[in-house]
Homo-oligomer: A and B are copies of this chain.
Amino acid sequence: MGHDLCDEIIGKWDLASYAFLCVTERKATPSEARLLNALMLAVADHGFTASSLAARLTYSGAPESIQGAFAAGLLGAGSVFLGASQRVGEKLVQLTDNRRGRTDAEISKEEVERALTNRERLPGFGHPIHKPVDPRSVTLFRLAKEEGLYLENCRLMAALHSQLEIAMKKKLTLNAAGASGAIMRDMGFEPSSMRLVAIASRAIGLISHLREEGVNPISQSVIDLVEENADYLPSGFEVGPITRTI
């Protein structure tokens, strides 16, 4: 019943196609494979984030155990960062399951109003650096259109974006988690599988960080920066109730 690893997969499929099979139990079309490769690279974490810094610092303390540095880099991928695509997926499931004949604009307007009233943050929007536009989202949505995979969930995500900007009276970022959650949903991914994909993507991204930390390390500089600036950090130089006179 299943696909034979050596005969059918190795040498014929790329990594993202394998991931696609794992979560959907069906073979990706060429369009889906292209889009999933794109999406996984977009969320692979190329910059200095909590996660990549934790990986690099861990590497500096245990360079012989590079698996530990990978693990540390993944462990920060919790609710704050990588949970976002899953929450986007869950929100889209909830809204499309209750469509009841309404247009995207109608559903979105109601959802934005509900969220603002409840002071609830809609998942998939906002970014500390990429504002008002996250170029990864633009690229991903363009690719989805090229491949004929810009479907119900992508359209609804875009409608939520419009209604949110109208309600807030300003430009707002539709971030990479928002775009990738909508695209994965349009390819039939369960929300719970979206986080699996996002974390595995981050593992690919960590190759770059850890290879570079090996060649051109920054960890000691980061620790020095923290030590030098300890007085300006919220907790100063004391760690809890212990005075480190040592």
The residues of A with any CB-CB pair to B shorter than 8 Å are: 1-7, 9-11, 13-16, 18-19, 21-23, 25, 34, 37-38, 40-42, 44, 46-54, 57-58, 60-72, 74-82, 130, 134-136, 138-140, 142-143, 192-193, 195-197, 199-201, 203-204, 206-212, 214, 216-219, 221-223, 225-227, 229-230, 232-235, 237-246
Contact = CB atoms under 8 A, between A and B. Distances in A.
A242 to B, nearest CB: 5
A196 B211 contact: yes
B57 A67 contact: no
Contact of A2 (B80, B138, B243): B243
Report the copy number of this chain in the oligomer.
Answer: 4
Contacts of A66: 195-196, 199
Given A57-B57, A75-B75, A222-B222, 4 more contacts: A2-B243, A6-B136, A46-B244, A218-B226
A223 B48 contact: yes
A19 B204 contact: yes
A67 B72 contact: no
Question: Dominant SS at the A interface?
Answer: helix
B74 A78 contact: no
Interface centre among A48, A52, A135 (most CB of B within 10 A): A48
Contacts of A193: 211
21 contacts: A1-B243, A3-B241, A10-B38, A10-B139, A11-B34, A11-B38, A18-B204, A23-B211, A51-B57, A57-B57, A58-B72, A62-B80, A67-B68, A69-B75, A70-B203, A130-B246, A196-B211, A208-B240, A212-B240, A221-B233, A222-B233
